[in-house]
A and B are shown apart, each in its own frame.
Chain A
Amino acid sequence: MKPIVVQDIAKRYGKKKETVEALKGISFEVEQGAIFGLIGSDGAGKTSLFRILTTLLLPDGGNAWVDGLDTVKDFKAIRKRIGYMPGRFSLYPDLSVEENLAFFATIFNTTIRQNYSLVKGIYEQIAPFKNRRAGKLSGGMKQKLALCCALIHRPSVLFLDEPTTGVDAVSRREFWEMLKDLKNEGISILASTPYMDEASLCDRVALIQEGKILSTDTPAGVISAFGKPLLAVKSPRMLHLLNMLRSFDMVADVYPFGEYHHVVMKREGEEKMLEAGLKEIEKDITIMPVVPHIEDCFMALMKN
Chain B
Amino acid sequence: MDNDNIITVDKLTKRFGDFTAVDAISFEVRKGEIFGFLGANGAGKTTAMRMLCGLSLPTEGMARVAGFDVYRQNEQIKRNIGYMSQRFSLYEDLTVKENIRFYAGIYGKSDAFIKEKTDLALKQLRLEKEADKLVRSLPLGWKQKLAFTVAITHEPEIVFLDEPTGGVDPIARREFWNMIYQAADNGITVFVTTHYMDEAEYCHRALIMVDGRVEALDTPAALKQTFGAASMDDVFLTLARKARRNE
- Interface positions of A (Cβ within 8 A of B): 40-44, 128, 137-141, 162, 165-171, 173, 194-196, 209, 239, 255-259, 295, 298-299, 302-303
Contacting residue for B41 out of A41, A171, A257, A258, CB 8 A: A171
Chosen A-B contacts, 23 in total, with CB atoms closer than 8 Å, are A42-B168, A43-B140, A128-B246, A138-B247, A139-B41, A140-B42, A165-B166, A166-B41, A168-B39, A168-B41, A168-B195, A170-B243, A173-B237, A194-B166, A194-B169, A239-B181, A256-B202, A259-B201, A259-B220, A295-B170, A298-B170, A299-B170, A302-B170
| Alpha-carbon gap, A43 to B168, bound state (A) | 9
Assess the A258–B174 pair: CB atoms within 8 A. Answer: no
Residue from B39, B167, B198 with most neighbouring chain A CB atoms (10 Å) = B167
Contacting residue for A302 out of B86, B169, B196, CB 8 A: B169
Assess the A167–B41 pair: CB atoms within 8 A. Answer: yes
Which residues on the A side are within 8 Å of B240 (C-beta)? 168-170
Known: A42-B168, A43-B139, A259-B231. A170 touches B247 (CB 8 A): no
- Interface positions of B (Cβ within 8 A of A): 39-42, 86, 139-141, 163, 166-172, 174, 177, 181, 195-198, 201-202, 220-221, 231-233, 236-237, 240-241, 243, 246-247
Which residues on the A side are within 8 Å of B202 (C-beta)? 256
| Alpha-carbon gap, A278 to B209, bound state (A) | 38
Assess the B172–A166 pair: CB atoms within 8 A. Answer: no
Contacting residue for A138 out of B41, B171, B174, B241, CB 8 A: B41
Assess the B163–A171 pair: CB atoms within 8 A. Answer: no
Cβ of B137 to closest chain A Cβ, rounded Å? 9
| Alpha-carbon gap, A194 to B232, bound state (A) | 19
Assess the B201–A141 pair: CB atoms within 8 A. Answer: no
Cβ of B190 to closest chain A Cβ, rounded Å? 14
Assess the A165–B42 pair: CB atoms within 8 A. Answer: no
Which residues on the B side are within 8 Å of A140 (C-beta)? 41-42, 247
Known: A138-B247, A169-B237, A258-B201. A41 touches B195 (CB 8 A): no
Main secondary structure of the interface of A (DSSP, over half): mixed
Known: A170-B40, A194-B168, A295-B170. 4 other contacts (CB 8 A): A42-B169, A167-B195, A258-B231, A259-B232
Residue from B41, B42, B141 with most neighbouring chain A CB atoms (10 Å) = B41
Q: Which residue of chain B has the shortest Cβ distance to A141 in the bound complex?
A: B247
Which residues on the A side are within 8 Å of B40 (C-beta)? 168-171
Which residues on the B side are within 8 Å of A258 (C-beta)? 197-198, 201, 231-232
Cβ of A296 to closest chain B Cβ, rounded Å? 9
Assess the A41–B169 pair: CB atoms within 8 A. Answer: yes
Which residues on the B side are within 8 Å of A43 (C-beta)? 139-140
| Alpha-carbon gap, A113 to B86, bound state (A) | 40
Cβ of B85 to closest chain A Cβ, rounded Å? 12
Assess the B140–A299 pair: CB atoms within 8 A. Answer: no
| Alpha-carbon gap, A256 to B173, bound state (A) | 10
Assess the B172–A138 pair: CB atoms within 8 A. Answer: no
Which residues on the B side are within 8 Å of A195 (C-beta)? 196
Assess the B195–A42 pair: CB atoms within 8 A. Answer: no
Contacting residue for B236 out of A40, A128, A167, A169, CB 8 A: A169
| Alpha-carbon gap, A42 to B138, bound state (A) | 11
| Alpha-carbon gap, A298 to B174, bound state (A) | 13
Contacting residue for A41 out of B140, B197, B237, B247, CB 8 A: B140
Cβ of B43 to closest chain A Cβ, rounded Å? 8
Cβ of A39 to closest chain B Cβ, rounded Å? 10
Which residues on the B side are within 8 Å of A194 (C-beta)? 166-169
| Alpha-carbon gap, A258 to B247, bound state (A) | 29
| Alpha-carbon gap, A196 to B196, bound state (A) | 10
Assess the A257–B198 pair: CB atoms within 8 A. Answer: yes
| Alpha-carbon gap, A173 to B163, bound state (A) | 19
| 8 residue pairs, one from A and one from B, having the closest CB atoms | A41-B169, A138-B247, A258-B198, A42-B140, A42-B167, A168-B40, A258-B201, A170-B240
Contacting residue for A255 out of B174, B181, B232, CB 8 A: B174
Which residues on the B side are within 8 Å of A239 (C-beta)? 181
Q: Which residue of chain B has the shortest Cβ distance to A197 in the bound complex?
A: B233
Assess the B163–A138 pair: CB atoms within 8 A. Answer: no
| Alpha-carbon gap, A239 to B182, bound state (A) | 10
Which residues on the A side are within 8 Å of B241 (C-beta)? 170
Cβ of A101 to closest chain B Cβ, rounded Å? 18
Contacting residue for A166 out of B42, B163, B169, CB 8 A: B163
Q: Which residue of chain A has the shortest Cβ distance to B231 in the bound complex?
A: A258
Assess the B195–A166 pair: CB atoms within 8 A. Answer: yes
Cβ of A50 to closest chain B Cβ, rounded Å? 15
Which residues on the A side are within 8 Å of B171 (C-beta)? 299, 302-303
Q: Which residue of chain B has the shortest Cβ distance to A18 in the bound complex?
A: B137
Known: A140-B42, A165-B167, A295-B170. A256 touches B237 (CB 8 A): no
| Alpha-carbon gap, A239 to B140, bound state (A) | 25
Which residues on the B side are within 8 Å of A259 (C-beta)? 201, 220-221, 231-232
Assess the B174–A256 pair: CB atoms within 8 A. Answer: yes
